Amino acid sequence: MIIKRRLPIVLLGLLAAFSTLGVPPAYADEHETEPVEPPKVELVLDVSGSMRAKDIGGRTRIAVAQEAFNDVVDALPETTDLGIRVLGATYGGDDKKVGCQDTQQLVPVGPVDRVKAKNAIATLRPTGFTPVGLALREAAKDLGSGETTRRIVLITDGEDTCAPPDPCEVARELAAQGTHLVVDTLGLIPDEKVRKQLVCIASATGGTYTSAQSKDDLTRRIKQIVERAKDTHTRTPAKVAGTDVCAKAPVLTPGVYTDRERFEEHRWYRIPVQPGQELRASVSIGLDRPLNRDYGVLLRATATDGRELVRGNDAGSGRTDVLSTGLRWSGAADDDEEAEDDDKGGIFTDSTEKAPEPTVVCLVVSNSFSAKAGAGQAPGMPLELTIDVVDASPAPNSPGLGRGWVLLGVLTLAGLLSGLIVGWLTRWWVAVWRTR
């Protein structure tokens, strides 16, 4: 009887051991990269005459903005390069031609000097016109190109009073350089006309728009935007032009690329993948103009003969600035099957044979966008494509169980043992029950 009572414990231990056999190990990401340069942010503040208004908790708009700036400067990460530019801060006259050139960089983009930055902000007094478009264009020059993320944070209480250049057109001009340069906008008053202009500026570059109704709102939002700057990629995209068919598509190597895609268009690219390697690709499309609701982006990898290998997709309903999706594909399984076929056919190779040729994967970006009435079709939507080719990940394979007949044999044996264990447990339970 003692043996019978111990048997279930032993059998349950065996069953637990078998149940852990199919658990795959975890693998760490081996391709984390460090930023080449620190993220760069320039704060662009409207100091035009309207900033004298006392309508934010009984305080002037400029006073609220100055306090928010000071809080942000104090909390700024040491790894962020900061610059400050103003518009409408020096000319108080009536000559619009002169006033619409009124924009200056107070603090050059670089490691933050907190004392210098605060002193520059403290001297600001609301003065002139509102040349938003010109200030954005100059801010882009301040940030330069480099190999790091670049972000403009525009804080204003009114629409541009100096167009041309129209600030929305300037934003699209900046977006044409790649989705790497982002403009976020913060509106200080709930004016619908101002809101529409700031939304247009932000959406053209994949940025965000927020209405800040208090000093705390403004401080919190600026901190969030500055913090986000370090989370984006650190390489300047290379310009590339996709084609309408794979055969004519440009050949891409690992890196970040920028392109433009029209509505309902297909853009093709080619990527060579060596045996034993894995392709990882992602795409982001900035929604830089008003779109009809319910749209999507599709990224597919196909063979040169048109066979689809894998796909990724994302969809939106009108409440987002960017759509992104990605995919992974490894040719290891296909290579193994081809090798098995060669062995069956009696094909042998010697050590002098050339290394196997890479597999050319066709990558196609498609979209289901349609523009609202009045929205232009050209230029196409800003597209950013990230390509990486790494060693094939072992994660999809089970830990040493093999494939085909070996796997089938292991599963059969596991089923047989499980059946025996259940049978023994049932017999023991019946025997115990009868002795009571």
- The pLDDT, as a whole number, for residue 147 is 63
Name the domain boundary from 194, 229, 264.
229
At residue 308, what are phi and psi to the nearest 5 degrees? -75, 130
Q: In this structure, is the dihedral angle defined by the CA atoms of residues 213, 216, 220 and 226, taken in order, positive or negative?
A: positive
In the numeric block, the tokens 């700031």 are attached to: 198
Residues 197 and 268 in one domain: no
Q: Of 135-139, 168-172, 341-345, give the range with the top mean pLDDT.
A: 135-139
Task: Report whether pLDDT(92) > 70.
Answer: yes
- The pLDDT, as a whole number, for residue 355 is 64
Residues 143 and 271 in one domain: no
Say if CB 265 and CB 292 are below 8 A apart: no
Task: Report whether pLDDT(399) > 60.
Answer: no
Task: Report whether pLDDT(395) > 90.
Answer: no
What stretch of H or E contains 138?
A: helix 132-143
Confidence tier at 40 by pLDDT (50, 70, 90): confident
Residues 308 and 340 in one domain: yes
- The pLDDT, as a whole number, for residue 69 is 86
CA atoms within 13 A on the CB side of 167: 28
Task: Report whether pLDDT(37) > 50.
Answer: yes
Residues 199 and 312 in one domain: no
Tell whether 414 is covered by a domain: no
Q: Write the pLDDT tens digit of every residue in 124-164.
A: 999 989 999 999 999 999 998 766 668 899 999 888 899 89
Q: Tell me the CATH number at 165.
A: 3.40.50.410
Residues 79 and 205 in one domain: yes
Residues 64 and 182 in one domain: yes
CA atoms within 13 A on the CB side of 356: 16
Residues with Cβ within 8 Å of residue 15, at least 6 apart in sequence: 418, 421
- The pLDDT, as a whole number, for residue 376 is 67
- The pLDDT, as a whole number, for residue 113 is 87
Domain count, the chain: 2
- The pLDDT, as a whole number, for residue 244 is 93
Average pLDDT score over residue span 192-218: 83
Tell whether 164 is covered by a domain: yes
Residues 218 and 276 in one domain: no
- The pLDDT, as a whole number, for residue 411 is 76
Q: Indicate the residue type of 136.
A: L
Q: Which domain holds residue 367?
A: 238-344+354-391
- The pLDDT, as a whole number, for residue 342 is 45
Tell whether 380 is covered by a domain: yes
Specify the higher pLDDT residue, 342 or 274: 274
- The pLDDT, as a whole number, for residue 352 is 53
- The pLDDT, as a whole number, for residue 28 is 35
Q: Of 120-129, 206-215, 417-426, give the range with the top mean pLDDT.
A: 120-129
- The pLDDT, as a whole number, for residue 192 is 84
- The pLDDT, as a whole number, for residue 232 is 58
Which CA distances in Å does 268 have to 71, 253, 281? 47, 14, 13
Task: Report whether pLDDT(36) > 90.
Answer: no
Average pLDDT score over residue span 384-399: 69
Tell whether 31 is covered by a domain: no
Q: Write the pLDDT tens digit of every residue in 100-109.
A: 999 999 999 9
Q: Tell me the CATH number at 242.
A: 2.60.120.380
Name the domain boundary from 229, 260, 281.
229
Task: Report whether pLDDT(14) > 60.
Answer: no
- The pLDDT, as a whole number, for residue 208 is 79
